Amino acid sequence: MKKCTVVASLEFDFRGERFSPGITIDLNRLMLRQGDLNGLHDMLAESIGLDAYRHEYDVMVLEDITFSEPTGLACKFVHEGHLNFDGFIQTWEREQILAAIRPIAAKHLDIDDLTKHEAIEKALIESYRTGQKDRASVKR
């Protein structure tokens, strides 16, 4: 998996003190761990020793996070300090599916480039997603 990171930061003032938390986030690890990009404010708060019970935290969560220094896939989704969360998640998930189905297409269909076989690619993606749904319903 290619490196995919972004620096998340923000600034806020509380009682005359300036706070400037900033962290580098491994988006691959975050997506694999929780499947979304939620909790970034909490990660920033933790980086400066704040928890949800502090007044500083209440002020901090009102601030927008600025994103910079993207690597890998994140480069396509960071523009002027904003991260397109939905676009990133959708593309990241698709890349994960393609990584899973490419070896299957090569092994069973002798296809090394799925982009040349759009219908087969769509069928394999749909099959993968259906399998994931079925797996999730069995776990419940």
| Same-domain pairing of 37 and 57 | yes
**Identity of the residue numbered 83:** L
Query: Distance between CA 39 and CA 56 in Å, rounded?
Result: 17
What pLDDT does residue 25 have? 98
- Quote the tokens at residue 77: 């989704």
Q: Are the beta carbons of 108 and 124 closer than 8 angstroms?
A: no
The H-assigned helical ranges of the chain are 27-34, 40-47, 55-60, 85-109, 118-139
| Same-domain pairing of 104 and 65 | no
Name the residue among 121, 116, 129, 3 with its Cα closest to residue 70.
Answer: 3
| Same-domain pairing of 69 and 98 | no
Q: Judge whether 88 lies within some domain.
A: no
Q: Phi and psi for 28 in degrees, rounded to 5?
A: -60, -50
| Same-domain pairing of 68 and 122 | no
What pLDDT does residue 70 have? 98
| Same-domain pairing of 77 and 11 | yes
For 72, how many CA atoms within 13 A lie in the half-sphere containing its CB? 16
Boundaries of domain holding 132: 93-139
What pLDDT does residue 139 have? 62
pLDDT tens readout for residues 2-55: 999 999 999 999 999 999 999 999 999 999 999 999 999 999 999 999 988 999
What pLDDT does residue 133 have? 79
- Specify the 3-state DSSP secondary structure of 69: coil
